[in-house]
Chain A
Amino acid sequence: GAGVSQSPRYKVAKRGQDVALRCDPISGHVSLFWYQQALGQGPEFLTYFQNEAQLDKSGLPSDRFFAERPEGSVSTLKIQRTQQEDSAVYLCASSLGSGGYEQYFGPGTRLTVT
Chain B
Amino acid sequence: QKEVEQNSGPLSVPEGAIASLNCTYSDRGSQSFFWYRQYSGKSPELIMFIYSNGDKEDGRFTAQLNKASQYVSLLIRDSQPSDSATYLCAVKRDSNYQLIWGAGTKLIIKP
Q: List 11 A-B contacts (CB under 8 A).
A: A31-B97, A41-B103, A56-B98, A59-B98, A91-B43, A99-B97, A100-B97, A100-B99, A101-B49, A104-B46, A105-B43
Across the A-B interface, give the 9 residue pairs with the lowest CB-CB distance, nearest first. Answer: A42-B101, A105-B43, A48-B97, A45-B98, A42-B103, A100-B97, A41-B103, A108-B43, A43-B101
Of B14-22, B56-64, B68-76, B88-96, the stretch lying at the interface with chain A is B88-96
In chain A, residues 50-99, which have Cβ atoms closer than 8 Å to a Cβ of chain B? 55-56, 58-59, 91, 99
On B, residues with C-beta under 8 Å from A are: 4, 8, 32, 42-46, 49, 88, 90, 92, 94, 96-104
Residues of B within 8 A of A105 (CB): 43-45
Q: Which secondary structure dominates chain B's binding surface?
A: loop
Q: Which secondary structure dominates chain A's binding surface?
A: loop
Residues of B within 8 A of A40 (CB): 8, 103
Nearest residue (CB) in B for A105 is B43
The complex places the Cα of A104 from the Cα of B43 at a distance, in Å, of: 9
